[in-house]
Structure 1
């Protein structure tokens, strides 16, 4: 996660469908203004973005500095066969990103970079499995001073592991390094396998560290877990992964988030996985254009790059639906419009309230447009769209793919009763 300009941007890996190993070819970006409706920004970075890389788009982290976004990622160096840390750069949090160097930033066969810029402007890059390393990054964020330093992993600093003489501490991988107040935190995946999430703290960015215990115990049907912690809009949020979605497991993982509060002494409470996740921050405004790929929950649909920029929702079949949470209709909407395309015979968009089979507020007919990227706008009247409700767009029609949807918007009498943050326009 990265907080920027009133939104949380989430930089993820991507397990390939049906994977039986860590088969990962690209990275993806999502963003949210309310912690429940997430906009899919697609894949602005992949293994092929690095001419020197051959495989393994594994766990990275992005950070903002001086008008640019830097994304540190581990991937396998084609020429050496070892894991190396690359850095990509963009002018936008959603990319596109490009290789900043044309070669690895650091390479010692270890993975999982985490990056933080201290209050005095000094940036640090930590990474490692099975060891933990750091370098001091220069202000350009693409070079460093000195040589990589290996952290002294002590049991007092990182907990005690039994039964493995080669790894006496709990540190495994996936470090997440940050500062809160005057305290530095090193959150990490502990004791494979299955992993849990633990953490250590220090009064210095380079240690020595003091082990603080477990944040999230082993749970969630994935034998790995990785942490990410940010503060946003007055709350603290813990990101992690599990295998909780249908078909999920240790090689087909999904990202989840929980809201939490630090203890008064700065320690982190025990956090458990839930199916509800974080509560919504504010509401969503239906009277501005909302990307169809802004979703709280979906069934059956996928996303793809759109000819009109950004992403669109596609591969829609009869009975599929999209849920958008906490939509503030205010005094009432009178019509619904959607940007659609269909290379088939089209179908219908049912505009429903509070459930996939909830109150039907309106139905929009979608015609065939002669191509899956031949876009047109359809509109229909709606009734009963007032107050704040969860919105369900349910798609119906024939037995094959029905339509693509790029964006939607309501029009109405008075607009929302609150002032939520609209989804930003899609990146070019």
Structure 2
């Protein structure tokens, strides 16, 4: 597949502010109705880590981006140019809001000392009566940095101006890869950082490259000496969570083809250990998630995070399902969700079944609120963009940067679907939208059930000569009652319309 087949008319791969190179035809690709996996079909997102705040889960992911050769043919992912972290969030686990990318490393990033940003981890603390959020990231495999922000989506700044964990950190001298952080804030507010990976020569069974150490009360310093976690066949991807007063350390096993007994993890699986204390001692328990190749027919590394939401536990993990659906070279990962269940008596984690179906929607979607245009359950031909001029500029240490605003980009024939929208018994009377035309006049149709389902309203968007002229327009709505999937469909026309969708909401009758 060459670049022309993956880009839509009127948009270039290098367009400023575009969050992804992943632009495809007006057909669903990857996330197919009614499936919940992968979570996004308009961009990639790898190495997921979950932060739950105010009954909403935020997923932070490595920003996999398509790489091209000199002839603009997609190539395998080298991971060498990744310096941003993607953030999405949801309170129902089906409809996700794309918050764009955090500029982490490089000259334009918050951490200018770093060159890459891989495999993030996030934590929340209330310090001096104020909420504070922390984003830990791997600068390739050479160290771990940290950013902080007043909200889960930013704006992010570098509080220490250097790496948090380096080769000089006590207890990490023999760690092959200083990367893949995970963080736990315990019930007593003490925080712990877990990290490490790699296999020293001749030690596939016991690499001893996993580490845990205390974080300072400021969350941006480490205390004492890192302790070894004796994880059998350790490879990468530290994970940590606490359930029923048991600490669960989870990780990905290595791929070395050596003899393994029946109690050892198979290559590329998520294994786990348990402890009564956050720093051990640890007891190996077994594996919980097979390699993605077992479920989806395409393998690669295995990376996960386990989290609770609404009295249920979940695992976020990545697989190359979207990459596979696009029929492009390997290495581009997408995040998925499935349930985690525990044995009632032993606390052991039951085997997890990865699939396209995913998880159930936790609750109905409320249309009588201001909804970001970058919120979607499913879509066809839709992309997202961070608005130029609203993003984070380079700032002095300690100074807040502005947050990016993310919009959806729709072309003629594109659509966004929102799952299980509850219009209520009274129903909706009107629909308001904030939108920007990128061409001639066009019509956005509101439909129920399908992209060609019952028409409940139309929004006529006038053409604009300005590249970013925002208008707010209102239209009447009829027939929107009770619960339906909602479709926002940009009607095709010979003028090849394109709009930027910023916000929308319904008004109840």
Q: TM-score range by the shorter chain?
A: 0.7 to 0.9
User: Aligned-pair distance for 1:283?
Assistant: 1.0
User: Aligned-pair distance for 1:255?
Assistant: 0.7
Q: Which residue in the other structure is 1:417 paired with?
A: none
- 1:10 is the counterpart of 2:78: no
User: Aligned-pair distance for 1:72?
Assistant: 0.7
- 1:50 is the counterpart of 2:107: no
Q: Which runs of 5+ in 2 are unaligned?
A: 1-49, 68-75, 168-176, 199-208, 257-266, 391-402
Q: Which residue in the other structure is 2:96 paired with?
A: 38
- 1:256 is the counterpart of 2:336: yes
User: Aligned-pair distance for 1:250?
Assistant: 4.4
- 1:92 is the counterpart of 2:170: no
Q: Secondary structure at the match of 1:410?
A: strand
Q: Which residue in the other structure is 2:287 paired with?
A: 214
Counterpart contact for 1:28–1:45, Cα < 8 Å = no
- 1:281 is the counterpart of 2:362: yes
Q: Secondary structure at the match of 1:60?
A: strand
Q: Which residue in the other structure is 2:321 paired with?
A: 244
Counterpart contact for 1:291–1:408, Cα < 8 Å = yes
Q: Which residue in the other structure is 2:505 paired with?
A: 409
From 149, 155, 162, the equivalent of 2:227 is 149
Alpha-carbon distance in structure 2 between the residues aligned to 1:200 and 1:294: 37
Counterpart contact for 1:301–1:313, Cα < 8 Å = no
User: Aligned-pair distance for 1:263?
Assistant: 1.8
- 1:377 is the counterpart of 2:472: yes
Q: Which runs of 5+ in 1 are unaligned?
A: 77-81, 159-168, 414-428
Q: Which residue in the other structure is 1:125 paired with?
A: 193
- After superposition, the CA RMSD in angstroms is 2.0
Alpha-carbon distance in structure 1 between the residues aligned to 2:508 and 2:227: 60
Counterpart contact for 2:99–2:406, Cα < 8 Å = no
- 1:188 is the counterpart of 2:229: no
User: Aligned-pair distance for 1:357?
Assistant: 2.2
Q: Which residue in the other structure is 1:105 paired with?
A: 164
Alpha-carbon distance in structure 2 between the residues aligned to 1:249 and 1:225: 18
From 416, 420, 424, the equivalent of 1:330 is 424
Larger relative contact order, structure 1 or 2 (CA cutoff 8 Å, min sep 6): 2
Size of the aligned set, in residue pairs, is 392
User: Aligned-pair distance for 1:380?
Assistant: 2.4
Q: Secondary structure at the match of 2:271?
A: strand
Q: Which residue in the other structure is 1:21 paired with?
A: 78
Q: Secondary structure at the match of 1:316?
A: strand
Alpha-carbon distance in structure 2 between the residues aligned to 1:15 and 1:368: 34
TM-score normalised according to structure 1 size: 0.86
Counterpart contact for 2:411–2:497, Cα < 8 Å = yes
Q: CA distance change for structure 1 residues 346 and 241 in 2, over 3 Å: closer, same or farther?
A: farther
From 307, 311, 334, the equivalent of 1:234 is 311
Q: Secondary structure at the match of 1:42?
A: strand
- 1:320 is the counterpart of 2:400: no
Q: How does 1:283-298 map to 2 (within 5 A)?
A: 283-298=364-379
Counterpart contact for 2:148–2:159, Cα < 8 Å = yes
Task: Considering fraction of residues, name the structure with more strand.
Answer: 1
Q: Which residue in the other structure is 1:351 paired with?
A: 446
Q: Deviations over 1:109-142 (max 9, x none)?
A: 5210111122223211110112101221111111
User: Aligned-pair distance for 1:237?
Assistant: 1.1
Q: Deviations over 1:400-426 (max 9, x none)?
A: 45111101111232xxxxxxxxxxxxx
Q: Secondary structure at the match of 2:118?
A: coil
Alpha-carbon distance in structure 1 between the residues aligned to 2:289 and 2:484: 32
Alpha-carbon distance in structure 1 between the residues aligned to 2:406 and 2:221: 37
Q: CA distance change for structure 1 residues 350 and 98 in 2, over 3 Å: closer, same or farther?
A: same
